[in-house]
Amino acid sequence: MQRPRPTRTNSSIAAVASAAMAVVLSLAGCGAIGLGDDDKATASKSPSPLPRIDCAEGKAQVAGSGSSAQQNVMKYWIKQYQRACPDVQIAYNPLGSGAGGAQFLRGATAFGGSDSALKPAEAHQAPGVCPDGRVINLPMVGGSIAIGYNLPGVDDLVLDARTLGKIFDSRITRWDDPEIQELNPGTDLPSIPVRPLHRSDDSGTTQNFQAYLAGAAPETWPYPAKKSWQGKGGGSASGSSNVVEQVNASFGTIGYFELSFAAGDQVKTVSIDTGADEPVAPTPETASAGIAAARVVGQGKDLTLKFRYGLTAEGAYPISQVTYEIVCDKGNRPETLPALKSFLTYTAGDEGQRLLSGINYAPLPDSVAVQVREVVRELS
């Protein structure tokens, strides 16, 4: 039974609007993604046609924060959107999924970004955020959680869920361990320590990676799939970009992050032995195949997906994820609602999805994208 939600008073509306405005104005100084003056100048001179976007009428400022996994695609989306709709200012701060959900539930942003769906119990902690409505999760972009590594002389590396679980739980400690060698016959593995790296901040990428380990190799990964890291030992860094930086900096390191970060920094990535005829490398195409096997388990307008982590289909990468945009189905702030709907209609539409493979993200399967667009049209 849904808990009753108190009616938002005029004073609380003013407080939330003030907080949201403060976030928008402060994001520019906090590493937020937006369209700066240089980008505006470049966009105005660009010979490429403007994207076809149904812009909201009037000026608006829309603040979002959360998942760092989507920060590269969000930068692209915002730049393209504001080329077509210069009266709308979109700002997105990639603080991590945990912080994004928390800021949205405080009423500080118009939407949150998270690599794991916000659960109903979490939304109930802030019942006044969606007057007369509820918090919902809208899948918006897919991708692979790549396992990046730094091993001298090893350009192709195959691991499976079992060995990954032991590596990230500090139970396989050297790279020439027999279990790794068995998966890589003929490869000269160096006799150096394994240095696993995990996210230090609460992260949906962490939650999805741990869900894969728990789902595909429960005998070696007995921990719950939480946004906080559960394994033993290893180093840590905040945000995907910092994990990538540490992997690049030291031999023997291995970490997990969204594929676009691996591609951007030319990090070598692991192919996963899923039990199929060939190990599967992380690509936009193999991620889409993994996402297509997921099913919608959310209720009503919530489109939370459930993944099949033991998937053995040929060409389907098993450590895939989607990033959700967290919004209200009803009770969105009227001053940001038209611009929010316009922006999300673009990101979920053909115009926003068709070029994602080119920047190492996976477009949503058509069956999911159609449902997202229907829900966005009905936001109020």
Tell me the C-alpha distance between 300 and 284, whole Å: 29
pLDDT value of residue 121: 81
Q: Quote the tokens at residue 69.
A: 């996994």
Query: Under a CB-based contact definition with an 8 Å cutoff, are residues 290 and 321 in contact?
Result: no
pLDDT value of residue 77: 97
Tell me the C-alpha distance between 296 and 264, whole Å: 31
Query: Under a CB-based contact definition with an 8 Å cutoff, are residues 150 and 195 in contact?
Result: no
Helical (H) or strand (E) element with 210: helix 204-216
pLDDT tens, residue by residue, 302-328: 999 998 888 788 999 999 889 999 999
- Please list, residue by residue across 271-302, b when 16 or more beta carbons sit within 10 angstroms of its beta carbon and e when fewer do: bbbbeeeebbbbbbebbbbbbbbbeeebeebb
Nearest to 39 by CA among 96, 91, 78: 78
Helical (H) or strand (E) element with 112: strand 111-114
pLDDT tens, residue by residue, 141-192: 999 999 999 999 999 999 999 999 999 999 999 999 999 999 999 999 999 9
- SS3 of 93, please? strand
Tell me the C-alpha distance between 315 and 49, whole Å: 35
pLDDT bin (cut points 50, 70, 90) of residue 8 is very low
Whole-structure pTM value: 0.77
Q: What is the DSSP letter of 100?
A: H
pLDDT value of residue 124: 76
Query: Residue 110 pLDDT > 80, yes or no?
Result: yes
Query: Residue 336 pLDDT > 70, yes or no?
Result: yes
